[in-house]
Amino acid sequence: MKLKLALLLALITSAGLIAVDAPKPDAPKGDEPGKKAEGKKGDKGGKKGQPKPDSVDEATWKKFLDARKAAAEDATVKAAFAKVKPVAKDATEEEKKAGGAARKELDEAVKAAVLKADASLEAVYKAIEEGRAKGKGKGKGDKGGKKPEAK
């Protein structure tokens, strides 16, 4: 009986060692673990972008996004970005206000740089503000579900 148990354990151990040494099949290109597939439509690397207002056409929106990217190189935008720091969830009210003020300053610096590059993009900013006033872009829109009734 002891001989059979020893033989069984040796067989299981050798099978495990053989499986570890076996060559792994080549994965098709683009399926490498740890790397995202590139070129997918809508893939923004996990970041949510500004939603496009309905009143803005695609060409103007692309022009706006390109101008925002170019504005990132502006010295005033870089200085304002340096002031923005992440605010912890358990931050004090003063820290939250300071973080909000720094973020607002950054937004104003980006807007000024974009409008300096192309003043015609003022209409895009107006459309974004109108969308915010209506509640779009804040994640609080109507999802089409029913509200629970009060009992």
pLDDT tens per residue across span 88-126: 778 788 877 888 888 888 888 888 998 888 888 888 888
- Six token digits for residue 24: 């792994």
Reported pTM? 0.52
What residue spans define the domains of the chain? Answer: 58-134
Residue 110 contacts residue 71 (beta carbons within 8 Å): yes
As a whole number of angstroms, the distance between CA 12 and CA 4 comes to 12
DSSP-derived letter for residue 89 is: T
pLDDT digits (tens, 9 = 90+) for 117-134: 888 888 888 888 888 888
